[in-house]
Amino acid sequence: MNIYQWKNQIHNFNESFSHNEEVKDKWARNIELNIDKFTKKNSIWNLEDIYLNEKEKAAILVGASPSILDDVEKLKNIDDNFFIICANSSLKILLDHGVKPDYCMCLDGDEVDIPQHLDCDNKDITLLASCVIAPESLAVWKGPIYYQAYYSIPKKYKAKVRRALGKKILSGGNSMSQALFVSTVIFGCRTAIFVGNELCYDEHYYADKTIAKTEIIPAVFPITDIKGRKRVTIPALFTYAMWIDKTCADLTPPGFFIDCSGGILGTTNKAIHPMELSDAIEKVKFAFEKKRELNNTSKEKQNDIIKDLMALNTQKPSEVIRYNFVNRREELWKIAKKG
């Protein structure tokens, strides 16, 4: 079945969500209770270019779909070439396996399930929270918090949020599409690895079934994942995949993007490279090592290193070794600020 036959369903999903008065009432209530917490000091834009100005690192973006259980132990082998942004729904899974993420992305305004996701040992983790996050979630968070403006907030709050948090950013979709935007456009990270981001499923989408206990799954439609397996998805998940694919395509080159989830990321473009997580970790480390050699050597020596790379049968010249990132980032930034 041609996936574009479902475009009306996807469009209707977005329309119903953006005009959902119950959701908007909840967002309004949360903004009212949170507005005094927003300052320039805790705006997410305070973290701008952190991974361009400091040591370059690759972002590992961890969702909560079932493949995370195959890869969570491998995340223990990462070093300071990487940092982790996880979704709120994958935070406890990581901590239960001895993996402490650097950041947790939380956009949802739900005051029932989300506080349970975040009620854990989080004092050394930075929360990247939307302005509509429920105060009940903030109450259980012990670590640093940086706030970001959310899309489709009630009009009367937009000016207040902009004044408090500075430049406007269009948060949207799920935690991982926003984590991608934040890590690349704000943090200045050039390399991103997706873990636990199938965006399709067999029997259930979440690795931890209990986190979706209040969620009603609507009608599904068939999809084929990157490995050719027949699976199903829902309009929300497929829309998130399209957003992620589009952002990766817009940033390639010079950004480099790897999917270790085996889902539907990268099925519609060549910007996302499917790879096993262990291989991805080693190849990114290798690329960064070679890039540092290039940065610290003469022009003649740089040419020798490039020749050595080209002579390798199993490792082509790494596409991670790229430099002109800022111009492409500026384009997305301008689009975001127009909002």
pLDDT 10s digits, 268-322: 878 899 999 999 999 889 888 877 777 777 767 766 766 665 555 444 444 444 4
pLDDT number for residue 70 = 95
Q: Name residue 46's amino acid.
A: N
261 found inside a domain: yes
Number of domains in the chain: 1
How much of the chain, in percent, has pLDDT values that exceed 70? 77
Instruction: Write down the mean pLDDT value for the chain.
Output: 82
pLDDT category of residue 171 using cuts at 50, 70 and 90: low
288 found inside a domain: no
On the question of pLDDT at 243 being above 60, the answer is: yes
On the question of pLDDT at 252 being above 90, the answer is: no
pLDDT category of residue 152 using cuts at 50, 70 and 90: low
311 found inside a domain: no
Q: Cα(214)–Cα(65) distance, rounded to whole angstroms? A: 17
Q: Which residues pair with 258 in a beta bridge?
A: 193, 273
- Higher model confidence: residue 277 or residue 338? 277
pLDDT number for residue 287 = 82
161 found inside a domain: yes
Give the CA count within 13 Å in the CB-facing half-sphere of 269: 16
Q: What is the mean pLDDT of residues 216-233?
A: 85
On the question of pLDDT at 229 being above 80, the answer is: yes
Burial class (CB in 10 A: 0-12, 13-18, 19+), 218: exposed
- Higher model confidence: residue 327 or residue 322? 327
The label of the residue with tokens 């050699």 reads 293
264 found inside a domain: yes
Terminal Cα-to-Cα distance of the chain (whole angstroms): 35
Distance of CA 109 to the CA centre of its chain: 18
What's phi and psi for 155, nearest 5 deg? -55, -40
- Cα distances from 95 to residues 108, 175, 330, in angstroms, run 20, 18, 35
On the question of pLDDT at 336 being above 90, the answer is: no
- Higher model confidence: residue 279 or residue 336? 279
- Cα distances from 252 to residues 89, 98, 184, 206, in angstroms, run 29, 33, 11, 29
Which candidate, 125, 181, 118, places its Cα nearest to that of 148? 181
pLDDT 10s digits, 57-76: 999 999 999 999 999 999 99
301 found inside a domain: no
152 found inside a domain: yes
pLDDT category of residue 137 using cuts at 50, 70 and 90: very high
308 found inside a domain: no
| pTM, entire model | 0.85
Domain that holds residue 258: 3-278+324-338
The pair of structure tokens assigned to 35 is: 């507005």
pLDDT number for residue 3 = 41
pLDDT number for residue 6 = 45
Strands (E), the chain: 58-62, 82-87, 103-106, 126-130, 145-148, 191-195, 221-224, 230-233, 256-259, 272-274
